[in-house]
Chain A
Amino acid sequence: MKAGKSFTKALSCGLLAAAALACPAPAAAQREAAVLAKGSGPYFESYLAFQKALGRPVTPFDLSRGKPRLPGDLRAVAAFGSRAADLKYPEDVTVVYALAPGFFPDKPGRLIRVSSLPEPGKALAAYKQLQPGLKRLTVFRLRNLSKIYPEKLAAAGKAAGVEVSEVALSSSTEFPEALRALSGKTDALWLFPDPNLISKTSLDVLAEFACANKIPFYAPSAGLVALGATAAYAPGFAETGAAAARALQAALDGREQPSMVFAEASLTVNRKAAAACGLSLGMTGGGQ
């Protein structure tokens, strides 16, 4: 019954949004807008949650349909997806971008990132709760990733008593070599959400390695847990949309806020995979 209600709700929202996307944008009277890399999938799901959290309709623009004609008096934009974030916006417009894990802007501006990663302290607390013996955590990130999050994570790890090691890779093909070097030297693996590192093979390699070494493999998103990961503590699309809404509203209100904000995250556990690998997880409930 619950699933049925969710489906009905999503369908009705989808129809509304589709109707909104199909209409020409009335640019003159709006101070905020939403730009979606694609008007479907996670971007659209996140956008719906964004609009709901904001409490009013926000005109969406689908980049897959062409370059949008943004309103002239625009003050803030919520961009969903790297392509949407990378769009040229007026300099006085605050851009809150989300669902763009591989996008790191090289130009200064009024950019606020809704991180695809969870808040470091909470993430470590969640993993510690799941894996009380966690002492050494290895995170895999793209070599050219911003240092902001790794630094925050290292600080949180120090506070939590977890040694966080970074393995910076250029591509997913480097996983085997990197893992062979890690054998027996880490208590858990955590893959950051980056399209360049995430592939079916890389997930298989990580899951297989983790299983063979009887250590958990934490995936970058709940959706990837089903592909063999042990668990994932990550924000969902809806939570990301809600966080973007909060950041957008703060920008419209003229409030100061950091360049990176975090969405609420939740823990998803693949108990079947954990059991198959002989892992005993300290946390009960949840998971798949």
Chain B
Amino acid sequence: MKVRAKLLLFLLPPLLVSAFLVKYLSGRAVRGALREQAAASARAGVSGAIEKDSAAFASGGEPELLPVLYSLKDALTASEVFFAGPDGAVLAHTDVTRKGGALAEEWREKLLSPEGGYEAFGEGAGYLMVFIPVLSPAPKDPEELALGSSGGERLGTLAAAVPLDAAYAAERAISRRITIILLAVYAAILLAAFFATGLALRPVRLLTEGTQRIRLGDYGGVIPVASQDEFGELARSFNEMSRTLSGTIVSKNYLDAVIDNIVDILVVTGLDGRITRANKAALAAFDRPAGELLGEPAQGLFSGEEGQAAAWLHLLASEGQVRDYETRLNIPSRAPALISASYIRDTDGTPSGIAVVIRDITLRKKYEAELSRSNEDLQRFAFVASHDLQEPLRTVTNYIQLLENKYRSALGPDAARNVDFITAAVKRMRALVRDLLEYSKLNAELKLEQVDTGEAARSVVELMRDTFAAAGAEVALEQLPVIRADRGHIERLLQNLLSNAVKFVDGRPPRVTVGARRTQEGWVFSVADNGEGIDEKYSGQLFKLFGRLHGAAVPGAGIGLASCKRIIDAYGGRIWFDSEPGKGATFFFSIPQQPAA
């Protein structure tokens, strides 16, 4: 319902009530005044006759009174006139049959009243019975006056029934005028209300036009702020909203452009999983127009049985989000893909839809496969090379030792020193080849089992007992956990890190502590030493293959930490260190919780 109609409905009842009250009260007042006026007019008309025909009234005789009464009847256009004596008895009446008749009780009171009065009567109160006391006139004879007769004796009451036609006609005329005035005033009020509403609603109309412009795409439009009142405040708020909306819409367009131009497939679904939006990559990937894709269940985009295709949806429902869920697209090539999905939430956090990003990983799989093959080839090559190099090196070593033993005395000191150099070089080369062989043996394929890392650490310490003893090192093992891992990997990790800890010392006996703590990313193991420490700037090359920081004086091929990193990468963890030169170093590695078998 329009505001104007509501205003009309609001105004009409009080206007009608007030109109009724005004009409009723003014009608009563006017009627009373007109009756009073009619009575006064009748009294004025009668007073002359009373004075002129005082003898007739004094006599009280019907023959004397009738001419007077008829004369008054004509003069007043009365329907009846009568004269009653002081006792209320009708002495003469224009209707002669009513002489001596009884009067109504309510009339008797006014009839005998000293002041007289009037009373409306007749059908529709069409007449006014006016009662006028008739007093004896003052005597004109000086002698009578001298004798003390002053007149004023109540002779009776003259009553005349005067018609109220004229009064009612005047009342009707006044009523009509009041009605016209009321109608004019109320019409003016309604018109004023109509126009005032129009003025008041102008800002609302402008606001409506503004919203319509926005609906039609004219974002950022403003409406004039013409006042400082609530409407002005509303207009300002609207303009602010419009500007914000304009920015939002621009961002949306920007986002649309981005979405349509990203390589990955992006679809938006409702909570029921039906597609409500798809980007160009999606249309291209599934080779279907938008009209066909929209409204389809999103699980239909993926191959496999219904439950399998919708598994990511169940995962989303249970986990709240899906990250890199691997599946295959429902296209002829059954391309592998990763699904990442999350809920689109309203401002109050209520889910309103699902955003699904699907990455076609066909190429990645291909590259991974190629890389895997390459790695395997390389690994095979390294294995073969290092394994096959062992034999000649062993032969070289054996023959060098044979030569040394057989011809040492004949070679002389220089030759003996050269032989030592050769022997040492071959030894380093053998170590290098051995390490390479070990490195190449590291397989990304994990043989997971429950591993007591404390026991594994103790085993390593026992294995390296001679090394530690030679270095004068002390190794402390804290409480270490049981984790799901490959025991060989754990032992290799600890062996490499402990080996480094006792290798790089600053002259003091090595003190090494092995510990572990549980964090959000899994178990984080630490190997802390009091060695010479490492400058932070070497962190980049430290974990690379053959990444050595020391010269030939320090044994090692730079393969140990690279092997550690390779092992940790296989678990999805990370390895790092915390150290300053001269203050020892602590190596950390994390092993995330591995899935159960």
Contact = CB atoms under 8 A, between A and B. Distances in A.
B296 interface: no
Interface string B194-226: 000000000000000000000000000000000
Nearest to A212: B95
A173 interface: yes
A180 B63 CA distance: 14
Q: Is the interface of A mostly helix, strand, loop or mixed?
A: helix
A204 interface: yes
B94 interface: yes
Contacts of B67: 200-201
A212 B98 CA distance: 10
Q: Is the interface of B mostly helix, strand, loop or mixed?
A: helix
B70 A201 contact: yes
B70 to A, nearest CB: 4
A93 interface: no
Interface residues of A, number: 14
B96 interface: yes
A173 B96 CA distance: 12
B54 to A, nearest CB: 18
Contact of B66 (A176, A180, A213): A176
Contacts of B359: none
A212 B82 CA distance: 14
Contact of A204 (B73, B97, B98, B99): B73
A183 interface: yes
A209 B97 contact: yes
A186 to B, nearest CB: 12
B95 A208 contact: yes
A212 B101 CA distance: 14
Interface string B78-106: 00100000000000001111110000000
Contacts of B99: 176, 180
B80 to A, nearest CB: 8
Contacts of B94: 204, 208
Nearest to A203: B70
Contacts of B95: 208-209, 212
A209 B96 contact: yes
B360 interface: no
Contacts of A209: 95-97
Contacts of A204: 66, 70, 73, 94
Contacts of A180: 96-97, 99
Contacts of B62: 176
Given A173-B63, A176-B62, A183 B97 contact: yes
Contacts of A201: 66-67, 70
A114 to B, nearest CB: 32
Contacts of B66: 176, 201, 204-205
A200 B70 contact: yes
A175 B63 CA distance: 9
A279 to B, nearest CB: 16
A212 B161 CA distance: 14
Contact of A175 (B73, B96, B98): B96
Contacts of A183: 97
A260 interface: no
Contacts of A173: 63
Contacts of B97: 179-180, 183, 209, 212-213
B96 A205 contact: yes
A102 B276 CA distance: 124
Interface in A171-224: 173, 175-176, 179-180, 183, 200-201, 204-205, 208-209, 212-213
A183 B66 CA distance: 18
A180 B98 CA distance: 8
A179 B96 contact: yes
A218 to B, nearest CB: 18
Nearest to A276: B79
Contacts of B63: 173, 176
Contacts of A176: 62-63, 66, 96, 99
A199 to B, nearest CB: 8
A130 to B, nearest CB: 23
B267 to A, nearest CB: 98
Which of A173, A200, A204, A213 has the largest number of chain B CB atoms within 10 A? A204
Interface string A157-178: 0000000000000000101100
A30 to B, nearest CB: 47
26 contacts: A173-B63, A175-B96, A176-B63, A176-B96, A176-B99, A179-B96, A179-B97, A180-B96, A180-B97, A180-B99, A183-B97, A200-B67, A200-B70, A201-B66, A201-B67, A204-B66, A204-B73, A208-B70, A208-B95, A208-B96, A209-B95, A209-B97, A212-B95, A212-B97, A212-B98, A213-B97
Given A176-B66, A205-B70, A212-B97, 15 more contacts: A176-B63, A179-B97, A200-B67, A200-B70, A201-B66, A204-B66, A204-B70, A204-B73, A205-B66, A205-B96, A208-B70, A208-B80, A208-B94, A208-B95, A208-B96
Closest 3 A/B residue pairs (Cβ): A204-B70, A176-B96, A173-B63
